Structure formats: C-alpha cells, structure tokens
C-alpha cells in the first residue's frame, strides 16, 4: 500500500502533475517553496522529512484557515535536498529574506549596523616625523570590513558608537582625525587642549606610549576595565616610588577618568562581555522584537523590529507541528503542541537576523528557543552559541527592560496604525469611496516641481494599506514643454502614467487607483479631466487639492473633475490630515528629485571625475579656464586641448563624455 494514497487523488483541485511530484519526494531533510499562478512565492519551509512534511499540506482538508487559502493557491513547488536540518534551517531563512514569501514571518532591516573602527598601524621608523600610519585612529564605521583594521560591534545605533568614541577619547586620548589632517598638522588641535587627544601628530606622545593606550582601549572595549585599572595603579605607584611625580600624575588622571566612566555605566557588570537580549511582544496581530546589545560588559542600547506576515504564522506552525514527529514514531503518539506565536516570531528573528550579523556567545531570550536552531547558529559561526530563557540577576534585569521596551514600541505602532486607519476611513466616508476593504484603498498623488522652469520633474506617490508605499513611488522627467508650464507638465505625467494602466485595467490585468490627487486647483484638475476623457477613464477618480484663502494650512479644499461642488473637510478633520500627508509627501518627493537633477545639470553629474585621466589638478585647470562645467561642455575638443596637461586624445574623450 502506498505511504500516502490520498496524495495521488486529484480531488484536492491541484494538478495531477503537482500531486505526483509531491508523492515522489524523498524522505530526506530539505527546503521547499510554494508558488502561486502569478509566480509569487507563497511559503518557504524546511523539513527533516520532505515527503512527510509536504504531503501533509495536500492530503488534509484545511477548511477556511489561512493555511487552507494558501494551499488552494499552490500551483508549483520547488524543493532542495540538504545534508542536515541545520543546513535546511540556514537555507530556509536565506530564501525567506531573498524571496519575501507571503506566509512566512519576515524581518526586514535594510540598514547596516554601525561599528567602531580601530585602524591598523605599522611600526615606526627611527628618525621619521610622526606619520598617521604609525598611530591608530578610532572612527565610526558602517560598511564592509577590511582585515587590516579592527572592528568592534555591531552597535545598535550611531549614537552608541559615538558615545563610545567619546569615552575612549576621555580615558585613552586616541586620535579621531583623518590621516590627511594628521599629516599636515604643525601644532596641536583643540582636542589636545581639552584633553581628548594626546597629539601624536606633533610628537607629544611616543609611538610606544600611544601603542600602550591603544591596547588598553581595546581591552576596555572587550570588558577588561577593572584589569586596566589595576595595572594603571601599579604603574602609578612605581613612578611615585621613583619620584617621577609628573608621570604618576598622568596615570592618576587616566585612572580617575576611567573610574568616572565605569561609575556612570550603571549597566556595567563583571561577568558578561558580549550578550544580546531578545524580547518579543505580540498583540493585535502585530509583533515587536526588541534587541538590546551588551558589548564589553556595557549596555549599548536597543533597537525594535516589526516583522510582517505574523498573522499567517500560527496556522502554518500548527500544521508543521502535526508532522514534527520522527518518521518511525507510532501513529498513535500524541501530536506535539504548536509553539506559541511569540516563540515563532523570536526564532524567525534569530534565524534571519544573524545571517548577516555576528552572533555573540550568549542570547538572553524571553521565550524558549529550539535547540536545533542554536546548533545551526553554532555550526554557522564556528563557536558555541547559547540561548538562556529564564535568566537571573543582572541578565534578568536586562530582559525585563527589553520586554518593557518591546511592549512600549508595539503599543506605539498600534496607536499609529489605528490613527492612520481612522484617517483612511474618514477620507473614504467624506468622498464616498468604497468602504468594504479599506486595506486595499489606493490613492495616487501627483506634484510638479522645478526652479524657474529648469529641471522640471513630476512625482507620483502611492498610499495603500494605510501607509505610504515607497517602493511604488515614481519620478518622471518632463521634457518638450514650455519652461514653467505646470499644466503641460501635469498633462504629460498623467498621460504617461495611465495610458498603459488604462488598457491593462480594461483587460482585467490591473486595477486603477480609487482616488487620483493632483496638487493644484481648477487648472490642474481641468488638465487631468482632459487626459482621463481621452483615455476613457472615470472622471470621479480625480480630485485636486486647492489651497485655501491666504494659502494657509488647514483651509485646503478639494476640487473634483466630475463637476461636484468643492469640499472643505475642516481644519481638524482626520480626512484632511491624510490628504495633507499624501500631498506633502508628493511635494517632498518631487522637490528632492528636482534638486538632484538640477545639481546634476549644474555640476555635470561629476562627469569630469568619472573620466579616466582627470584628477583634481586637471579638473581645476579646466574649470578655471572655462568658468564651469557648462563652459567646458560648450567648448570644442580643440579648445579643451589648449589647457595645460590636456592632450588631444584626452580632450576628445572629455568632449565625448560631456556630449
């Protein structure tokens, strides 16, 4: 008898080819992906036994649950067999971050973490003047790391890095200046005067003493502050015994500064060096993970993360729990309980977050974490990573603080979203827009921006699901119009935006917005009406935001293309607040695009610097001769070749680049 006879029945509504593919899966660990008819990724999952896990999706009736809706949409599947469940876990979360599936908990964090950078140094050469390469520099850094430098972090914020740099300046007086500044100093800067730098640039500290200060700074960052204090005290007493009171006083001052720093660090403890504290809070279909970082025994602050697709996770987890037993386990064995949603969110964060970020040896967590996940992390990093669920003493204080912050951040998010949803409903009611699905209500807003007719650009911003959707913003370069003709610019951008969209909407391949806002009064609305009439679109979609008397904020009125009377929503109206938010965002987006374009026109988009062979001296000579980039662009290749240092071939290359 086949292992899963019901998989072969096409009564589920899925294609026989897909069901046959499911039946042929191996009983090995791996990762599977489900796709819908449009090619979108529905879900990415891992399994110890691919055949058993995937079959469970297709052989059961899932009813009207979210998982049931997902299964009905599956038209295609891809699987990857791996050697172990740890490999499956890592591959699964890499794919989740890459593919953005609709039914996985997804954490997005496009920002790279800041680090504290300590530059590498070479040994000094006897008799040479102070060189920047000999004296390491501390600096704020964000980006890819280089082996020749040392990096400490990551830190939760730029503020945490800069605060740490300030501490290192106070205690160890390391330099922060750029190498070019260092190499051109002839006297100490202000930082030396206020005792924040030891002035290695002018020889006020020996390379050996500076190297010792640098080593102590590294040890401080690694949490060895008490050891440093002990050593400084011994050296101070030794200098005093030798009647070297000036050197003893310097060490006394350094000890005093370090002691003051440690006293101010109320979160300082003696045991832990590097720890991450993770607390999760779930409420109202939303979740927040609060990550607090401890580095070198110092609490550096925290950062909140808000995952998407949380509401879909519980159903999928319940189904996965049914197949979580070993393949050889008796069928009568109790089905394991599905994990709490908080644990699912926390595990998803750990798996996705630490793909790109170094993992500290200890994680203090508000929920119990799967041992297999920690084993996979340990295998990935090559060092043992431990998750502690019920900490004591200082760790417990840290966790309680993180839990409180997670709750506060989630409450703030829910309040903001509730307010935004109220604004959406108020606007829909005021303008008789559809109310049955406010999440799908789509508003597009257009604005024109230029400076005295120069560098005209139009912006289109999109509001949907109660928020601005940045990924769908568009800018349009407006050309072929009379400079400063905003009406012609509006006509051009609306024609370009809706010509194809209108055709796609008629074929059922796209959906028009529920409201099109234009920043302007009757003139702009009249131009929009002409475009929509030519395209055969509903004039009721168009509204213009006309400024009120004296152009005062709060007195705006809405002008409609279909002949309706003007509408004044009221100064304190939630609907007007939403209109103003969308209109201001369109204006901001247009302004930034116009300024960037104008700057590119005026400075040549840095084209001179992009030409091979043009360095600072030749660029300065060209700009001095022709008065600016436009002068160079209007010159012939022969004229350009008359500049000192510019050969005929290089002149022709410059001419081609600027034309």
Give the tens place of pLDDT for each residue, 357-370.
788 889 999 999 88
Quickly state the pLDDT bin for 436 (edges 50, 70, 90): confident
pLDDT(150) > 70 = yes
pLDDT value at position 281?
92
Interatomic CA distance for residues 323 and 52, integer angstroms: 7
Residues 641/651, Cβ–Cβ less than 8 Å:
yes
Q: Write down the pLDDT at residue 602.
A: 46
> Region 503-515: what's the mean pLDDT?
85
Q: Which segment of 270-279, 517-526, 596-605 scores lowest on mean pLDDT?
A: 596-605
Let me know if residue 539 belongs to a domain.
yes
Mean pLDDT, to the nearest integer, of 118-131? 83
Confidence band for 623, pLDDT divided at 50, 70 and 90: confident
Dig out the tokens for 488 from the structure: 């012609």
- What is the mean pLDDT of the segment spanning 598-606? 48
Look up the CATH number of the domain holding residue 625: 1.10.150.20
Model confidence pLDDT, tens digit, residues 522-571 = 888 999 999 999 998 888 889 998 876 655 666 778 888 888 888 887 77
Residues 283 and 258 in one domain: no
636 Rama sector, left if φ>0, alpha if ψ -120 to 50, beta otherwise: beta
Angle, helices 50-59/310-322, rounded to nearest 10 degrees: 110
Find, among 72, 6, 86, the residue nearest to 43 by Cα.
Answer: 72
Q: Does 422 reside within a domain?
A: no
Q: Looking at the structure, tell me whether residues 579 and 447 fall in a common domain.
A: yes
> pLDDT-based confidence at 607, cuts 50/70/90?
low
* Residue 215 scores a pLDDT above 60: yes
Same domain, 623 and 583: no
Residue 404 and residue 291 share a domain: yes
How many Cα atoms within 13 Å fall on the side-chain side of residue 148? 7
**CA 174/CA 209 separation, integer angstroms:** 11
Give Cβ neighbours of residue 77 (< 8 Å, ≥ 6 apart).
18, 21, 22, 32, 33, 34, 35, 54
Q: Is residue 371 part of a domain?
A: yes
Q: Are residues 33 and 148 in the same domain?
A: no
How does residue 111 score in pLDDT terms, banded at 50, 70 and 90?
low
Tens of pLDDT, residues 67-99: 777 888 889 999 999 887 777 888 888 888 888
Q: For residue 334, report the phi and psi dihedrals to the nearest 5 degrees.
A: -65, 140
Asked whether residue 264 carries a pLDDT value surpassing 80, the answer given is: no
Binned at pLDDT 50, 70 and 90, residue 322 comes out as low
Find the CATH number of the domain harbouring 589: 3.30.420.340
Is residue 269 in some structural domain? no
What local confidence, expressed as pLDDT, does residue 328 receive? 41
**Residue 550 shares a structural domain with residue 583:** yes
- pLDDT for 597: 60
* Among 264, 284, 308, residue at a domain's last position: 264
Poorest-pLDDT segment among 456-470, 607-621, 635-649: 607-621
Q: Which tokens belong to 601?
A: 């026109």
| Nearby residues of 469 by Cβ (< 8 Å), 6 or more positions away | 462, 463
Predicted local confidence at residue 34, as pLDDT: 92
**Which range, of 268-272, 306-310, 497-501, 571-575, averages the lowest pLDDT?**
268-272
Domain for residue 430, yes or no? Answer: no
Residue range 57-64: average pLDDT? 71
CATH code at position 382: 3.30.420
Domain annotation covers residue 416 = no
pLDDT tens string 265-307: 444 444 557 889 999 998 877 889 999 988 777 777 888 988 8
Is pLDDT of 447 > 50?
Answer: yes
Last residue of a domain, one of 215, 234, 264: 264
Among 107-121, 438-452, 519-533, name the one with the lowest average pLDDT. 107-121
Q: How confident is the prediction for the chain on average, in pLDDT?
A: 80
Residue 609, CB-side half-sphere exposure with 13 Å CA sphere: 6
End-to-end alpha carbon distance in the chain: 75
In a domain, residue 420? The reply is no
- What does the pLDDT read at residue 329? 45
* Mean pLDDT, range 48-59, rounded to an integer: 85
607 or 245: which carries more pLDDT confidence? 245
What is the value of pTM for the model shown? 0.59
pLDDT of residue 444: 94
SS3 assignment, position 128: coil
> Which H or E run includes 454?
strand 454-464
Residue 557 phi, psi (nearest 5): -125, 155
Residue 239 pLDDT greater than 70, yes or no: yes
Residues 130, 248, single domain; the answer is yes
Residue 406 has pLDDT above 50, yes or no: yes
pLDDT bin (cut points 50, 70, 90) of residue 399 is: very high
Residue 527 and residue 453 share a domain: yes
Taking the C-alpha atoms of residue 7 and residue 56, their distance in angstroms, rounded to an integer, is 9
Q: How far apart are CA 263 and CA 174, in angstroms?
A: 21
What mean pLDDT comes out for the span 30-43? 89
In terms of C-beta density within 10 A (0-12 exposed, 13-18 middle, 19 or more buried), how is residue 180 classed? exposed
Q: What's the whole-number mean pLDDT along residues 93-109?
A: 82
- Kindly write down the DSSP assignment for every residue of 284-315, as one continuous string: TTEEEEEEEEEETTEEEEEEEE--B-HHHHHH
The number of folded domains in the chain is 5
| Mean predicted confidence (pLDDT) in 208-222 | 85
Q: Looking at the structure, do residues 68 and 210 belong to the same domain, yes or no? A: no
Do 260 and 292 share a domain, yes or no?
no
Where does the pLDDT of residue 237 fall: very low under 50, low under 70, confident under 90, or very high at 90 and above? confident
CB 288 within 8 A of CB 413: yes
Domain boundary among the residues 394, 410, 426 is at 410
User: Looking at the structure, do residues 444 and 505 belong to the same domain, yes or no?
Assistant: yes
Burial tier of 138 (Cβ tally within 10 Å: 0-12, 13-18, 19+): buried
DSSP-derived 3-state class of residue 34: strand
Residue 452: which pLDDT band, with cuts at 50, 70 and 90?
low
What Å distances lie between residue 193 and 84, 186, 197, CA to CA?
60, 15, 8
Determine the pLDDT at residue 314: 64
pLDDT at 606 over 70: no
Residue range(s) defining the domain that contains residue 633: 611-658
Q: Is the pLDDT of residue 471 over 50?
A: yes
Other CB atoms closer than 10 Å to residue 275's CB: what's the count? Answer: 23
Same domain, 528 and 458: yes
Peptide bond into 154 cis (omega under 30): yes
| Residue 415: inside a domain | no
User: pLDDT, tens digit, for every residue of 332-342?
Assistant: 444 456 678 88
């Amino acid at each position: 008898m086949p292992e899963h006879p019901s998989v072969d029945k096409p009564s589920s509504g899925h294609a026989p080819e897909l069901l046959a593919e499911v039946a042929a899966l191996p009983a090995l660990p791996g990762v599977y992906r489900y796709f819908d008819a449009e090619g979108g990724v529905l879900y990415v999952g891992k399994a110890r036994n691919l055949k058993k896990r995937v079959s469970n999706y297709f052989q059961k009736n899932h009813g009207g649950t979210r998982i049931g809706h997902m299964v009905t949409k599956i038209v295609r599947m891809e699987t990857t067999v791996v050697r172990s469940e740890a490999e499956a876990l890592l591959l699964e979360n890499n794919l989740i971050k890459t593919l953005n599936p609709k039914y996985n908990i997804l954490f997005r964090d496009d920002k790279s973490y800041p680090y504290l950078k300590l530059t590498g140094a070479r040994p000094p050469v006897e008799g040479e003047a102070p060189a920047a390469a000999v004296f390491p520099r501390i600096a704020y850094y964000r980006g890819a790391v280089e082996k020749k430098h040392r990096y400490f972090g990551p830190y939760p914020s730029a503020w945490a890095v800069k605060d740490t740099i300030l501490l290192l300046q106070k205690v160890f007086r390391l330099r922060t200046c750029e190498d070019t500044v260092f190499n051109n100093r002839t006297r100490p800067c202000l930082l030396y005067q206020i005792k924040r730098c030891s002035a290695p640039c002018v020889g006020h500290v020996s390379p050996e003493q500076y190297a010792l200060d640098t080593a102590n700074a590294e040890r401080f960052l690694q949490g060895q502050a008490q050891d440093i204090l002990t050593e400084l005290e011994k050296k101070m007493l030794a200098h005093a015994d030798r009647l070297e009171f000036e050197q003893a006083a310097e060490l006394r001052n350094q000890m005093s500064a370090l002691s003051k720093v440690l006293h101010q660090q109320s979160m300082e403890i003696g045991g832990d060096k590097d720890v991450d504290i993770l607390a999760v809070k779930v409420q109202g279909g939303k979740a927040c993970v609060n990550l607090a970082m401890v580095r070198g025994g110092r609490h550096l602050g925290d950062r909140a993360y808000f995952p998407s697709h949380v509401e879909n996770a519980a159903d999928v987890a319940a189904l996965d729990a049914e197949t979580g037993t070993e393949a050889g386990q008796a069928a009568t064995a109790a089905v394991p309980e599905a994990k709490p949603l908080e644990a699912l969110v926390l595990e998803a964060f750990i798996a996705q977050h630490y793909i790109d970020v170094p993992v500290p040896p200890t994680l203090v967590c508000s929920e119990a974490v799967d041992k297999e996940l920690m084993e996979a992390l340990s295998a990935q990093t090559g060092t043992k990573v431990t998750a502690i669920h019920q900490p004591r003493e200082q760790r417990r204080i840290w966790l309680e603080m993180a839990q409180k912050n997670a709750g506060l951040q989630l409450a703030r998010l829910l309040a903001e979203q509730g307010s935004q949803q109220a604004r959406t409903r108020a606007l829909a009611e005021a303008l008789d827009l559809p109310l049955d699905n406010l999440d799908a209500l789509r508003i597009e807003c257009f604005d024109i921006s230029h400076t005295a007719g120069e560098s005209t650009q139009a912006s289109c911003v999109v509001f949907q699901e109660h928020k601005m959707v940045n990924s769908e913003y568009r800018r349009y370069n407006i050309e072929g119009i009379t400079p400063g003709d905003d009406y012609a610019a509006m006509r051009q951008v609306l024609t370009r935006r809706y010509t194809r969209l209108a055709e796609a909407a008629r074929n059922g391949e796209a959906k028009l917005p529920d409201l099109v806002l234009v920043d302007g009064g009757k003139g702009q609305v009249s131009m929009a009406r002409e475009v929509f009439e030519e395209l055969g679109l509903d004039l009721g979609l168009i509204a213009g935001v006309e400024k009120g008397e004296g152009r005062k904020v709060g007195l705006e009125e809405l002008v409609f293309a279909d002949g309706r009377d003007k509408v004044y929503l009221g100064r304190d109206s939630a609907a007007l607040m939403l209109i103003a938010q969308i209109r201001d965002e369109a204006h901001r987006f247009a302004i930034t695009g116009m300024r960037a374009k104008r700057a590119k026109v005026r400075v040549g988009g840095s084209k001179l610097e992009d030409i091979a062979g043009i360095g600072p001296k030749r660029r300065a000579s060209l700009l001095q001769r022709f008065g600016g980039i436009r002068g160079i662009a209007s010159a012939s290749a022969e004229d350009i070749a008359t500049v000192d240092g510019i050969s005929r071939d290089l002149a022709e290359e410059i001419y081609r680049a600027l034309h």
